[in-house]
Structure 1
Amino acid sequence: MMNEKGFFFFKFGDEALMMRCLEDGPWMFHNRPILLQRWHLEMQLNKGSPRFIPLWVKFYDVPMEYWSQDGMSFIASGVGKPLGMDRITEDTCIYGKGRIIFARILIEVDAAKKLPECIK
């Protein structure tokens, strides 16, 4: 659904599907990135330039000693404010099983600052 201000609203049959869509991005619509957010009762809808943007960032070659929730948070802090991990990264950190090819972390970044090219 779309409202008169050009905002799109998606309705899901179950919460698991909605969470998958929120976590899987980034998403493109007509070759433009779209920001998906979970709606809440007091949400203010505006299309101004956001100061902070949530980005899914993949980290490759993460040393084994950083495969923990604290370790991932430490690494992600080099880019911005860590918000969470995808389910596979989180399960790998907690249970020690899963994918270690890369870690995928949701990070809130300052839209006015340049992103670092690497984290050492």
Structure 2
Amino acid sequence: MGDMGGTGDLGGNGSVAVEDEDGDARESLDRGPEVPPLSVRQEDVGNKRHVVIPQRDYESKWQNFRFALIGRVNFRLISLDTLRMEAQEKWNLSQGILMHLLGKGYIIFQFQCQGDKVAVWRRSPVRVREQVIRFHHWKPDFNIHEKQSLTKLVWIRFLDLPLEYWHKNILLSIAKVVGHPVALDRQTRQGLLGYFARVLVEIDISDSAVRVEEVQVERLEPGPSQVFGFCQKVVYEDKVERCGIASVWIT
């Protein structure tokens, strides 16, 4: 073959130092980047190729999304620029936010700190112009082509719950059977209203979801190791008239 217009010396890492026509040197990889032994492994199975990726690098990248939420937007109603401006001006974020378009209207909202993520998620759904956005926690291997579970926030009541059970951790333990606890009603936390305890939870509303109507609550009797239990009824406020009682968010 003829002269390619440059000369190269083989480096110690298997690369070739090539001189451009203007005299500047650059590296041309001859054997590809070096990979630590066993960190990447490729196997041939039929017409498929299998590879084991570097775990440390994956976990490092995963950390970038530990404060992320998923939302879905109809871009026929608002633009991405409008959404970014709304977040900057009205979401009261202490740090910045990145928005990654995934397709089918899905967006990863990448917050820089836990406080900003929690503050926005607790306000879900958020209205931006004519668009209502419901947020969900980001999870690894999120795929826009898979059917996503639908959730919503709803207040639940524990009717006639004895006041000695009105402790934050006890109420959260009961509420976890129903969904993901988000907030305690202020009067519940202060024990001012004894008719029912009130907790805000995130519940699954997909077609296959089943609402928990009763919870079997158990505890140990003082002294002998005997179990005492009772059945606690759960009432969902989206089935009853709403009331404007202030709440205290769980931190």
- Give the one of 150, 153, 159 matched to 1:56: 153
Distance 1:4 1:109 in 2: 23
Q: Which amino acid in 2 is paired with 1:28?
A: R
Q: Which amino acid in 1 is paired with 2:124?
A: G
- Kindly indicate whether the alpha-carbon contact (under 8 Å) linking 2:124 and 2:133 is maintained by their aligned counterparts in 1: no
The match for 1:3 is: 101
Distance 2:118 2:206 in 1: 24
The match for 1:79 is: none
CA RMSD for the aligned pairs?
Answer: 4.0
- Give the one of 236, 239, 243 matched to 1:117: 239
> 5+ unaligned residues in a row in structure 1: which ranges?
75-81
Residues 62/30 of structure 1: CA separation in 2 closer, same or farther (3 Å cut): farther
- Kindly indicate whether the alpha-carbon contact (under 8 Å) linking 2:102 and 2:108 is maintained by their aligned counterparts in 1: no
Higher RCO, 1 vs 2 (CA within 8 Å, ≥6 residues apart): 1
- Kindly indicate whether the alpha-carbon contact (under 8 Å) linking 1:69 and 1:90 is maintained by their aligned counterparts in 2: no
Residues 90/46 of structure 1: CA separation in 2 closer, same or farther (3 Å cut): farther
Q: Percent identity?
A: 11
- Give the one of 19, 24, 45 matched to 2:123: 24
The match for 1:103 is: 199
Distance 1:34 1:99 in 2: 34
The match for 2:139 is: 40
Asked if residue 83 in structure 1 is aligned to residue 179 in structure 2, the reply is yes
Distance 2:182 2:203 in 1: 11
- Describe the SS at the equivalent of 1:43: coil
Q: Which amino acid in 2 is paired with 1:103?
A: V
> 5+ unaligned residues in a row in structure 2: which ranges?
1-98, 210-235, 241-251
Distance 2:186 2:145 in 1: 35
TM-superposed CA distance for 1:45, in Å, is 1.8
TM-score by length of 1: 0.56
Asked if residue 69 in structure 1 is aligned to residue 147 in structure 2, the reply is no
Distance 1:53 1:3 in 2: 20
The match for 1:77 is: none
